[in-house]
Structure 1
Amino acid sequence: MRLTRTGDGSSETVRWHAGEPAENVRRHPGESSQAAGWHAGDPSGAVRSAGESCDRRPAPSSAATVRSRDTAPPGRSLTWVTDQNVPHAVRSVLQEILRERVRDCAALDAVFAEDVAERVAAFTLDGGKMMRSQLLWWGLRACGGGAGPGEGDTALRLAAGLELIQTCALVHDDVMDGSVVRRGRPALHVALGRRYGSGGAPGPGEPFGKAAAVLAGDLALSWADDLAAETWDTVRSAGGAWARVHAVWRTMRTEMVAGQYLDLHGQVTGSRAVGTAIRTAMLKSALYSVERPLALGAALAGADDRTSGALCAAGRSAGLAFQLRDDLLGVFGDPRVTGKPSGDDIRDGKLTYLTAIARARAVASGNRAVVELLDSSVGDATLDEGGVERVREALVETGARDLVEARIGRLVAVSNRHLTSAALAPQGESRLRALLGAVAGLPLVAHTPPVAESGAASAHGPATAAAAGSVSPLGSASEARTASSRGSAPAAAAGSASAHGPASEAGSAAAPAAAGVRARHTTGRPHPAGPWKRRPDEDPDAP
């Protein structure tokens, strides 16, 4: 097998043959990026990149010694092996599962297997940092799980299910947004359209490609639920907290769909509400991408309510910080670093916290020129680079950019506080701290002082953010905030309109950037997905 994997901004091409575990991967670090190819040796033929045609070719012979996935070095367990490289372990499980699923589809129909099933398999294996899987695994390990019989294998299979849900989300998202490129290759709906006549341009193949991609996403989701169902049986038979695991999974899927709908709704209605922007970001990304994977790991480990609550709170805050950073990069980011054009969020009319708070502050200060500029520019697909630059200037002029930076710093501090408060296994805690820091774009440092409930932006804002000290994709020294974590794990988290909406942060343009730092404390109502009792629309920045 040939698979391009990206981590820490670098590309690595790996090869292995069907049936060979991830531990036996033969790396070729200097090779150029290539499409993923899969010689499964079964009737389905070769799995290749989702953006390439799936022509058949014979499986190569292999003289390599093939070890079982569950075989570890002498004296080492599967859990130890996974601790060394979680993405490797999850990909190994996925390879085995997807080979079986593609074979099943080929038994139904060869065309369906080649056009749809193989592309779903290739898309899932090719690219991505598997951040959700890593959060699940280290949530499990931080709560003391993974050492019991079968616990590691159960967690890895559930993590594989998370990656298949992400495949569903990305494939459907590309269709809904009309994106033509994903991970540097044609999006799946574009590839299918070209295969049957559109050539990438509007034509007979275009609606077919989009419809077929919807089916591909549905297939990935069904495979994910199959894996989850197998996990319920395993956890139940082992006497684990299967009801909690099932509740988290069920809630996560619904939140993902709700967030995507709110994203679409915001574009079609032209909504600029601050609270809606935060709620959309939380539902679409943060709960799904950060908090729920952590909750799954904690539930599998049988963690108590206090530990699970602290872990989820830390993930929620880091997730929202990630999404706010992502919003900044979508406008101010350097495309050479971020990998996507700067300004597309403006042209697409995306409802983001950044643009929503800028407009609210302009309204509050009576700056009609900025209000009219934002109203006419956000959502204008024909906006040229000069127009985008004028919007950037408005975001700076209103103080929105500095305010978002300040809130990112506060959220990171809140995440750190919650993580420190949990009674976690030392190794798991350190790995989670590093992961959440990467998600948020700022480092989480152990044993920091308590988070202030009010104060100026400098308390947790740009000064704190600058401590990251990494090269910034935002294009200026003042924005060196370790934003390079942006990528396939996009995440967001909960927010409350009343806590940080127009009344608190949308004051006059001359108001302090930290307006609204003090947040309303609410207990919320019990949530079926776990012990973290705040509702999804409540703010993790609250004391």
Structure 2
Amino acid sequence: MTVTVAPTDPALLRDRFDAALAAFLHERRPGRSDDGTGAVHAVLRRFVLAGGKRLRPLFCYWGWRGFGGPDGGPIVVAAAALELFHAFALIHDDILDGSDLRRGQPSVHRVFAELHTRSGWHGDPTAYGRDAALLCGDLCAAWSGQMFHDCGLEPAQVRRGLAVFARMRAEVIAGEYLDVVSAIGDGSVAAALAVVRMKTARYTVTRPVQIGAALAGADPAIVTALAEFGDPLGDAFQLRDDLLGVFGDPAVTGKSNLDDLREGKPTVLLALAREAAGPTQAARLRALVGDPELDHGGAAEVQGIIEATGARERVEGMIRTRVDQARAALDRTPLAEPARSALVELTTRAAHRRH
């Protein structure tokens, strides 16, 4: 029996992205078994290939296809390179947030800290784990540029894509800085939304789809206008992430729902809860959120306050509004099929996911 796979099937594309990543990483194995970098390569290979939604490569690929780019190996490699940049961002973000889990497995800094402990080495395992993970993140950032540059597209195409790629790299780092600053800021909804846009929205949706369109030679004005689709959808993606960080099932999300609350992460969700809280509720939020020893009982109390203030439903409303904006922008954009249908599907998947 012959099985026909729809051209928009994201699982098929994810397999192709993973194959491209595996091939790239295979070529970069340590040249000698004793050169000391085998552990780095092994940890990064596991981390990069351990799953993930591959949203950024998907948005890049369909941005390319939407403006006349043909399917083929070069665009798969170029799109997959964004996943290496995503790995850099995740590794560094987990260090900054002190997160012990990522995709249901120990985060990279925890893997190296545990290696230090098992090996009985001198010094501080935590410091070693942090330092090794920082270098792994830097390596992923460097590799992403190399993989993109050598994807096999024409040099003029690659240059167009790299111009957007460079903006994305700078924005992610600026967004991480704003996230750090926001922890000592005013805790306002506006400040939290600024972090959402710079740290996540642009590099999750807007820049990937623009990179794909630029690679395909889309009119620069249309490439710019794609932000009207990508920005609100990227916002919705992160707002959903913030909800999952507090209300998600760790068995599904692969990450503890204590992390954001213990860190006191200044999310839109918590900003709205504080804004609407009464005096007693506000006092409890101050006592519980940011407590590094917060337990599940305390987290349940915070969840109850968020529900009671209406903050959870307000965030759901913000997600719905931004999804509507993204879909309206897609309707205005001259996209070829099957890219239009694929991007409509991705819009729903990104905003209404469970992990």
Structures share fold, TM-score greater than 0.5: yes
Change in Cα spacing, 1:348 to 1:198, as seen in structure 2 (3 Å) is farther
Larger Rg: 1
Higher relative contact order (Cα pairs below 8 Å, separated by 6+ residues)? 2
Corresponding residue of 2:141: 221
Corresponding residue of 1:281: 196
Establish whether residue 175 from structure 1 lines up as the match of residue 91 from structure 2. Answer: no
Corresponding residue of 2:111: 191
**Pairing of 1:233-382 with structure 2 (within 5 A):** 234-236=153-155, 239-240=156-157, 242-267=158-183, 269=184, 271-362=186-277, 367-382=278-293
Query: Partner letter of residue 31 of structure 2?
Result: A
Establish whether residue 86 from structure 1 lines up as the match of residue 13 from structure 2. Answer: yes
Establish whether residue 433 from structure 1 lines up as the match of residue 353 from structure 2. Answer: no
Corresponding residue of 1:420: 331
Runs of 5+ consecutive residues of structure 2 not aligned to the other structure = 1-6
Runs of 5+ consecutive residues of structure 1 not aligned to the other structure = 1-79, 442-482, 487-543
Contact 1:270 / 1:349 at 8 angstroms: preserved in 2?
A: no
Contact 2:258 / 2:294 at 8 angstroms: preserved in 1?
A: no
Give me the whole-angstrom Cα distance separating, in 1, the residues matched to 2:255 and 2:346. 23
Query: Partner letter of residue 186 of structure 1?
Result: P
Query: Partner letter of residue 89 of structure 1?
Result: R
Change in Cα spacing, 1:86 to 1:348, as seen in structure 2 (3 Å) is same
Using the TM superposition, give the Cα deviation of residue 424 of structure 1 relative to its aligned residue in structure 2, in angstroms: 0.9
**Pairing of 1:385-534 with structure 2 (within 5 A):** 385-441=296-352, 483-484=353-354, 486=355
So what's the TM-score if we normalise by structure 1? 0.60
Using the TM superposition, give the Cα deviation of residue 203 of structure 1 relative to its aligned residue in structure 2, in angstroms: 6.4
Give me the whole-angstrom Cα distance separating, in 1, the residues matched to 2:290 and 2:163. 37
**RMSD, matched Cα:** 2.6
Give me the whole-angstrom Cα distance separating, in 2, the residues matched to 1:335 and 1:377. 20
Give me the whole-angstrom Cα distance separating, in 2, the residues matched to 1:436 and 1:295. 15
Give me the whole-angstrom Cα distance separating, in 2, the residues matched to 1:384 and 1:114. 38
Q: 1:136 aligns with which of 37, 56, 60?
A: 60
Give me the whole-angstrom Cα distance separating, in 2, the residues matched to 1:157 and 1:253. 18
Contact 1:143 / 1:303 at 8 angstroms: preserved in 2?
A: yes
So what's the TM-score if we normalise by structure 2? 0.89
Corresponding residue of 2:81: 161
Corresponding residue of 1:101: 28
Aligned length: 348
Change in Cα spacing, 1:123 to 1:382, as seen in structure 2 (3 Å) is closer
Using the TM superposition, give the Cα deviation of residue 245 of structure 1 relative to its aligned residue in structure 2, in angstroms: 1.5
Q: Deviations over 1:97-126 (max 9, x none)?
A: 211111xx324x734331112322232122
Q: 1:119 aligns with which of 34, 37, 43?
A: 43
Contact 1:306 / 1:422 at 8 angstroms: preserved in 2?
A: no
SS at match of 1:112: coil
